[in-house]
Amino acid sequence: MPSFISSIISRITLRLAVVLAVFFGLMVTSLALIPTQLQSIRADSLTKLEADHKRATEILSVILSEPVWQITPEIAKASSEVVFSDPNVAEINVITLPDKKTFITNSRKASQKGAFRSKSRDILHGEQIIGEVQLIFADDEMNKEIKLNIYRAIFVTAISFLLSVICIYVVLQWRLVRPIKDLIQKSDRLAVGELNEVIAFDRKDEIGHLAVSLEATRQALQRSFKELEIKNQQLLEYSGTLESKV
């Protein structure tokens, strides 16, 4: 098994290695951030729901003051429709005080899954407490919003991930893979004795230094071959002179 893995690793090209490194690097970062992001989405949605719940309860306590005081449940129910139209609302219960009799009830809890959360507030007429309103919110809409925000976050993360991989791949292809392939081709030409092409890269990084080293090698080989040619020519001339003397 280790030899099989080593064989696979040895076949991985530089381009594929770079792509895999970028992919797994971004993947690890994304996976590390997703739990925090999901927790933040849920906390923000819950904070918003709590604020809406509190505000709706306060609004109900104000708009129901006169109908409760005048004992007109029809007007109270019509007035409460402003709040009941909110899809977060599961139930509105209003009782009169101090007799604690039910004044109005408006509910759609049967059509909602919950969980449910409740807030109560006194209904005042002047300084006198004349009733109490209980407003029950369901988590259904919040859960839908959380799910939608999670899908949106995953989509944005996926698009960012893809664009990051593409951008990094393009930059590495331009600045690393392509120059290295060019240097490999030039070194292959050196290996077969093609020494006339100058190796020049206008770069100050490691690849630039490698190109300078290859160019120095090319020049050294070129000088060596020229010196060998001169010596061979001298040997030929010398051997010709010896033959003429003989």
pLDDT in tens, 85-101: 999 999 999 999 999 99
**pTM, to two decimals:** 0.62
Q: Which residue has the higher pLDDT, 171 or 50?
A: 50
Q: How many residues does the chain have?
A: 246
The pLDDT, as a whole number, for residue 191 is 82
Helical ranges in 64-139 per DSSP H: 65-69, 73-84
Spatial distance between the Cα atoms of 185 and 238, rounded to a whole number of angstroms: 39
Q: Answer whether 109's CB lies under 8 Å from 93's CB.
A: no
Q: Helix or strand or coil: residue 87?
A: coil
Do β-strands 101-107 and 89-96 pair in parallel, antiparallel, or remain unpaired?
antiparallel
Residue with tokens 């809406």: 52
Q: Answer whether 6's CB lies under 8 Å from 129's CB.
A: no
Spatial distance between the Cα atoms of 130 and 128, rounded to a whole number of angstroms: 6
Q: The tokens of 40 are what?
A: 């933040």
Helical ranges in 109-198 per DSSP H: 140-172, 178-191
Q: In the predicted model, is pLDDT for residue 2 greater than 70?
A: no
Mean pLDDT of the chain: 85
Q: Which residues lie closer than 8 Å to 52 by C-beta, 6 or more apart? A: 86, 88, 137
